[in-house]
Amino acid sequence: MPRQFQRGHKAKVSDLTPGTDLYVGVQIAGPGLTFDISCFGLDADERLSDDRYFVFFNQPKTPEESVQLLGAQAGDTESFRVTLDRVPASIHKLSFTATVDGAGQMSQVGPGYIRIVAGGEEVVRYAFTGAEFSTERAVMLGDFYRKDVWRFAAVGQGFDGGLDALLKNFGGEVAEEQEAPQPSAGGQAPGFAPPAFAAPAPPQAPQAPQSQQAPQVPPPAPQPPQPPQPYAAEGAPPIHAAPTVVSMPGATPPPYGDTAPPPPAPPPPAPGAPTPPPYGQVPGQAPGQAQPFGAPPAPYGQQPPAGQAPFGQPPQPMGNPFGGPPQGGGAVQGFVPQGAPPGGAGLSAALNPYKEAPTGQRWTAQNGHLMRVDLTMAGGAPVLARQGSMVMYQGKVDFGYKGAGFAGRIVGNATGQEMQLMRCTGRGQVFLADNNAHLHQVELQGDGICVSAENVLAFDESLSYEVRRIDGHGIPGGALFTMLFQGTGTVVVKTHGAPVVLPVTPTTFADCNAVVAWSAAAQVVLSSQVRLRRNAYPGHSGETVNLQFRGAPGNFIVVQPYEV
């Protein structure tokens, strides 16, 4: 009996089957629709860094044949053979996708599935229907991914756009068809290209008899080589037919392949008319005198008067670029180009490093301070997040107040572990952050972790959580408290700065304000350093309350470089 996966479910491949030679079948159909079913071999950054690991109808296998396209068989629309132990180490994920070929949407498909067969026996099946999608034209069905071992995840994530858009999302490039060269307006073939056809030879006159032919003129004697001329003589073949055009700042260059028309010559002055002053000089103004505001600039090629910028260029800034302090008491200059960015010029190149990270998982870190959760995955399970942590969302998402109840408020007030939470439900994506704190995604698979409520940003509602007491003496109240999370799901932990994870030893002590989290199986003992004689006079260390951790090998603590 195969295991029935829901969207967002994950499992180790070794828990499903001991084999690594697997059969992957995809069944998807819709009235009047055809589909392209592909497999993307992605690197650690979830990018298609090697085009040879894009398996589709035009490239049916990878170089070492770890992924092979088998075609339609056994009731499957498309099928693959995947040999996991032959996948190179540079490939961290195998993503199986289906895209509509032509017009249509994923909402029109009927019941479908992706399944895994090992040794002739089906071990996993993830079923889906068109009711789970709307206007998407592609869907990410399932992934094999490395996380210490190979695992499988049922994704079921819709994607706007077809196969080309999906390929670009993974960092691939779409080859564009080359158009045939078009002849120019004059009817001549473009330069550096042979003519389209040979001109017909002129008709030859009937040859005269041998005796009546004119005597042949001997060829002229070879001429000595001439030195190169700076300009072609009149009537010479147009080797460089396009005139040389000096590009003025701010001018728009002519289209590629076209020649710019020469500028019109100024008309000659009428007989007896006064000679106009040079361009850029006001009549009656002495040379070198500063021009008044609004006067035309100096002639091109000449230095402008003092205090005036050259023609076509912006005025010199009075301060530093946007974000820097002004110099000389001037105002800060904003959004003034200071050269092309390292990744190239243009708005797209400037924004490319900050674009949204690739999707495919329920929780995705956009950077070290921003987390994205996809509510459409994991069967649409809700997410609990700290109130006010939402910075943006996409789709239809509802935010509701999550109350702790009367007993929960009593416990929270008494222990200091009260969390003000909101419940996020719906179909969409929510972006979460909290005051530029460092965010860390912790995935639980039946185990547990202790985290202070102050360091929790968000977590899956499927996780169970409760307040745990740390008994001790030497502090007011005689105890410390923390939150214990258990179950299967993800909890997002926030820290001040980059944390460090340390193994638990018999002599592991940590400041109670610097500890962020620790393994649930670790034993925690309160260690008080309070001494009456030391506190009776100034100069003591100030480290009065510490936590001592004990436990078997494998336990850990997480410490942040920060104290309250």
Dump the DSSP string for 306-355: TT-PPTTSPPPPSSPSTTSPPSTTPPPP-S---S--TT-SSHHHHHGGGS
- Looking at residue 549, its pLDDT comes to 82
Residue 405: pLDDT band with limits 50, 70, 90: low
Reduced to 3 states (helix: H, G, I; strand: E, B; else coil), residue 150 is strand
- Residue range 297-320: average pLDDT? 48
Residue 147 has pLDDT above 80, yes or no: yes
pLDDT at 530 over 70: no
Does 477 score more than 50 pLDDT? no
Q: What is the pLDDT of residue 471?
A: 58
What's the rounded mean pLDDT across residues 26-35?
92
| Residue from 166, 151, 159 nearest 9 by CA | 151
Looking at residue 180, its pLDDT comes to 44
For the cut 50, the answer to whether the pLDDT of residue 418 exceeds it is yes
Give me the residues paired with residue 547 across strands.
510, 526
Give 553-556 contacts, CB < 8 A, sequence gap 24+. Answer: 553/503, 554/519, 554/521, 555/503, 555/504, 555/518, 555/519, 555/521, 555/522, 556/501, 556/502, 556/503, 556/504, 556/518, 556/519, 556/522
What distance in Å separates the CA atoms of residue 529 and residue 471, rounded to the nearest whole number?
Answer: 16
pLDDT at position 60 over 50: yes
Percent of the chain with pLDDT over 70: 60
pLDDT of the residue at 479:
44
pLDDT at 528: 56
Average pLDDT of the residues in 158-173: 76
Confidence bin at 524 (pLDDT 50/70/90): confident
Q: Are 35 and 148 in contact (CB under 8 A)?
A: no
pLDDT at 377: 83
91 has pLDDT over 50: yes
Which stretch of 57-61, 132-136, 389-393, 549-553 has the lowest confidence by average pLDDT?
Answer: 549-553
Say which residue, 564 or 96, is predicted with more confidence. Answer: 96
Class of domain 3-232: mainly beta
Superfamily name and number for 363-559: Mitochondrial biogenesis AIM24 (3.60.160.10)
pTM: 0.41
Residue 316 pLDDT > 80, yes or no? no
Render the burial of 24-63: b for 16+ CB within 10 Å, e for the rest.
bbbbbebeebebbbbbbbbbeebebbbeebbbbeeeeebe
- Give the residue with greater pLDDT, 105 vs 401: 105
Interstrand relation of 138-147 and 93-100 (parallel, antiparallel or unpaired): antiparallel
Bigger pLDDT: 534 or 460? 460
Residue 374, pLDDT > 60, answer yes
Of all residues in the chain, what percent carry a pLDDT higher than 90? 29
Q: Which two tokens stand for residue 545?
A: 């309350």
Q: Output the pLDDT for position 492.
A: 95
Give me the residue spans of the domains in the chain: 3-232, 297-354, 363-559
Comparing 81-95, 346-360, 397-411, 510-524, the range with the smallest average pLDDT is 397-411
What is the band of 169 on the pLDDT scale with cuts at 50, 70, 90? confident
Most confident stretch, 144-158, 275-289, 398-412: 144-158
| pLDDT at 314 exceeding the cut of 80 | no
Q: How far lies 487's CA from each of 311, 442, 444, 501, 548, in Å?
A: 69, 12, 6, 22, 26
- Does the pLDDT of residue 230 top 50, yes or no? no
pLDDT, position 124: 95
Q: How many CB atoms lie within 10 A of CB 554?
A: 10
Q: Is-contact 421 389, C-beta < 8 A?
A: no
Per-residue confidence (pLDDT) for residue 541, from 0 to 100: 43
Split at pLDDT 50, 70, 90, the class of 204 is low
Q: Which of 143-157, 183-197, 548-562 has the highest mean pLDDT?
A: 143-157
Task: Kindly indicate the confidence band of residue 417, based on its pLDDT and cuts at 50, 70 and 90.
Answer: low
30-34, 402-406, 429-433, 515-519: the lowest-pLDDT one: 402-406
At residue 337's C-alpha, the angle toward residues 334 and 339, to 5°, is: 145
- Distance between CA atoms of residues 366 and 441, nearest Å: 11
Over the chain, what is the mean pLDDT?
73
Confidence check: pLDDT of 308 > 70 = no
Residue the block writes with tokens 């044949």: 65
> Any idea how long the chain is?
564
Predicted confidence band of residue 303 (pLDDT cuts 50, 70, 90): low
Mean pLDDT of 243-259: 47
**Residue 141: closest CA among 2, 9, 49, 3:** 9
Query: Beta strands 3-5 and 121-128: pairing type?
Result: parallel
Most confidently modeled range among 114-128, 153-167, 367-381, 522-536: 114-128
Cβ atoms within 10 A of the Cβ of 378, count?
A: 25
CB 397 within 8 A of CB 419: no
How far, rounded to the nearest angstrom, does the alpha carbon of residue 397 sit from its chain's CA centroid? 23
